[in-house]
Chains A and B, each alone.
Chain A
Amino acid sequence: MQHRRFVLLGLGGVIALIVAMTLVGLDQNLTYYLYPTEAVDRRAEFPDGERFRLAGIVVEGTLQRGEIHRFEVSDGGATIPVRLHNNPPPLFDEGVPVLLDGSWSGAVFDASEALIRHSENYEIPDRGGTGPGS
């Protein structure tokens, strides 16, 4: 019976460890989603290098393609200049709603990844995709 108690203790330990890892992992992997207006308002909370996701529309006439893609995103309120250091997703263009993953660098948003936001429930996400509908 000593043996069983030992095993049960081990099992309890494994459960506790996984629950703890879950809760700690949550906080580390939490990403904030902000619109340009919010990002500007809450600039102090997100210092340079602090990652968050910026959602907005690529402003017409601002897209300059190149090694680094430069454009502006807006939500109708604030407009933020963006540098995208990666390939844009398929069909990325001016006027398209995007979600950018990156951080502030002065007055510019440095994005490491961009994805197009589709309407309704079905989004094409970054390297992770969307799921089965319904």
Chain B
Amino acid sequence: MLSLLGTLGLLSALLGSVLLTWRGWLAATGHTDRGLAPAARLVLAGAAVAMGAMQLALITDDFSLAYVANHHASTTPFPFNVATAWAALEGSIILWGLVLAGFTWMMLRRHSRSPDRLGAAALAVMGAVAVFFFALMLTVANPFEVCTEAIANGCAASSPWPFAAVQAPLEGRGPNPLLQNHLLMAIHPPMLYLGYVGMTVPFAYAIGALALGLPGVDWLRRSHRSTVVAWSFLTVGIVLGGWWAYEVLSWGGYWAWDPVENASLMPWLVATAFLHSALVQRRRGMLQAWNFVLVISVFALTILGTFLTRSGTIQSVHSFTQSAIGPVLLGFLLVVVVGSFALFSARAHLVGSTPRIDHLVSREGSFLANNLLLTLYAFVVLTGTTYPLVVEAFSGARVGVGAPFFNRLAVPLSFALLLMMGLGPVLPWRLAPPRLLWLRTRGPAVIALAAGLLTALTVTRIGWVILTVVLGVFVLACSSGVLAEQARRQPGRHEGRLRATLEVIRSDRGFWGGQLSHAGVVLVALGIAFAANLGAHAEAVMSPGDTVVFAGHTFIYESPFQRSAPGKSTSGARLTVTEDGSFRATLEPSANYFGADPTGVSTPDALHLPGGDIYVTMLRLDAAGVTLVFDTSPLIWLIWLGGGVVAGGGAIAMTGRRAGTMAPARQTADV
């Protein structure tokens, strides 16, 4: 029943996508501009019905669906039953389709207000991308296949035909243990998908503009808001992923250059470059061709990321042909890359001849440097992520590229980016006279060096930490300096400094939102530097009643404990934490066993303090006692906070000037 409903939803969405592509293209080529709205609504309604059917199946434990039987169990509690809809490939593509339909619908609303050829062409491209994903769901990655051969816990064979003879198991296999351990896992994928899929919008406008032979600045202006929205969600998604890894996987870290992580970082890096270079084109008309290259790359990287994480390719190149999804996604990636760049070169003569840059030491020069660094960064991550696959494809050897490779290149690139984040905002457009540059950086440099000295004297002598502090404070001081300078020039300054400052920010939210994002990046950098370099570590084997003193706190091992919930059993150690004799917290590092899986999942517990976390992991629990590992992660919360600030900057930038009402010669920070 739900299989039928879901399949009908997918079919409607597919039909709507085909119609949207067709009607969109007709409208774009100057024919009738009709039928776009019903088509887009059909896509959204179909996708919503499909997601609704999947949710209903999960909530009602409908194991007649193979997906539910293989990824859900009746014991899976809320909200993990809901989140199971995107815990595995087939379900997550429904989410993908739904988000794509949502973005398409928003584009349509805008198009309906002021229809034109570019908007119609962009909708046609959205439709074409949607055709691919809904066709994928109806063929090789069908989430609504019915189970035709049940096994004890799960489904061995299934059929896409909703009326096939159903044989439903009594109980399902349940989601991957690591995914039902923490609430973040329910929120992180939708955030990531809003970011990933949102990147289709600027791509659609770019391809539409190229296809119609209308390059210029219009496509950038129209897609700007969606790009910022998608980028902000992507930021949140990445940070939540790291936070989840830190809270759930008991190794105390948050980032390991794992291919799954890299797949989300690469589009973020290139999208960040694009946000900056788009600004240069909008302000100075430069980098037109480069912007097309970037936006196509961002979209291609989101498809590559999906291919890497969802085709089994990471486990082994040779496993990717086991399901048809790998070759199909790879084929789509090739079509996107080859098709887009072929279209781009066919239209290259129309892409305006770029006005040459006047001086490299200028705002646009700093944007060039920023773009260079970000794309190199993405190149490094891309190489490290895909190289093992290439080696395996050609030599058959299974190899891995270790974190040291990434760190060695990412660390210097990150420091260079921090430096540019400080310099960029103080540089005026066109030309920065050395005197002006000196005048504006002098103060921030002194403050930054003082902060570095203070850190060296009071906190640590570790060079990396001091360098991060110096550069981070430099970025903050440079931005604040620009803000203060503009507030001073604000007419009506007698109304008070604060008011003038707010007025400056309100008058150019795009710029100041960006500065806030920079501040967020600084917080992330500080969090990484402190947590990575200043952590303490200790191990102890304890019997009940034993105490350990670590990081100024006393840990008393009270007793082991056992708990069992349906489908899950937990054994762990209960610790009481005191500081100066007074009670602080109870910690329960534990091991969780899910269903029949003999491999336990170790769940750490942490004491969250303003100075950072004390993180306790249980290594082993047996007759001899409990083996515990204690770690401190100084200021690690700065990373999560910083990620939120980065995204918050995006949100502020987005509420800024609306496209079309933008005054190009507005007085901004570039005076």
Contact = CB atoms under 8 A, between A and B. Distances in A.
A40 interface: no
Interface residues of A, number: 46
For A29, A33, A95, the residue with the greatest tally of chain B CB atoms inside 10 Å of its CB is: A29
B402 A91 contact: no
Nearest to B237: A132
B173 to A, nearest CB: 11
B336 interface: no
A43 interface: no
Interface string A80-102: 00000001111110011100000
A59 B600 CA distance: 17
A116 B250 CA distance: 11
Contact of B87 (A89, A92, A116, A134): A134
A22 B383 contact: yes
A7 interface: yes
Nearest to A128: B256
Given A133-B178, A134-B87, A26 B383 contact: yes
Contacts of B242: 132
B402 A29 contact: yes
A34 to B, nearest CB: 8
Nearest to B178: A122
A4 B400 contact: no
B400 A31 contact: yes
Interface stretch (B50-58, B104-112, B113-121, B391-399): B391-399
For B258, B387, B404, the residue with the greatest tally of chain A CB atoms inside 10 Å of its CB is: B258
A11 B259 CA distance: 29
Nearest to A18: B376
B591 A4 contact: no
B25 to A, nearest CB: 33
A13 B257 CA distance: 27
B660 interface: no
Band of interface residues on B? 35 or more
Contacts of B60: none
Contact of A87 (B250, B397, B619): B619
A131 B309 CA distance: 11
B355 interface: no
Contact of B86 (A89, A92, A134): A134
Interface of B is mostly: helix
Contact of A121 (B315, B618, B619): B315
Given A4-B360, A26-B387, A131-B260, A118 B178 contact: yes
A20 to B, nearest CB: 11
B152 interface: no
B267 interface: no
Contact of A127 (B178, B253, B309): B253
Given A91-B602, A128-B253, A133-B189, A29 B372 contact: no
Contacts of B253: 127-129
B189 A92 contact: no
B188 interface: yes
Given A118-B599, A131-B245, A131-B258, A21 B409 contact: yes
For A22, A26, A120, A132, the residue with the greatest tally of chain B CB atoms inside 10 Å of its CB is: A132
A130 interface: yes
A45 to B, nearest CB: 10
Given A32-B397, A130-B245, A134-B86, 19 more contacts: A4-B360, A11-B372, A22-B379, A25-B409, A26-B383, A26-B384, A26-B387, A30-B400, A31-B399, A34-B398, A90-B602, A97-B599, A118-B601, A124-B249, A125-B256, A131-B262, A132-B245, A133-B178, A134-B188
9 contacts: A11-B372, A18-B379, A22-B383, A22-B409, A23-B383, A121-B314, A128-B257, A129-B246, A133-B260
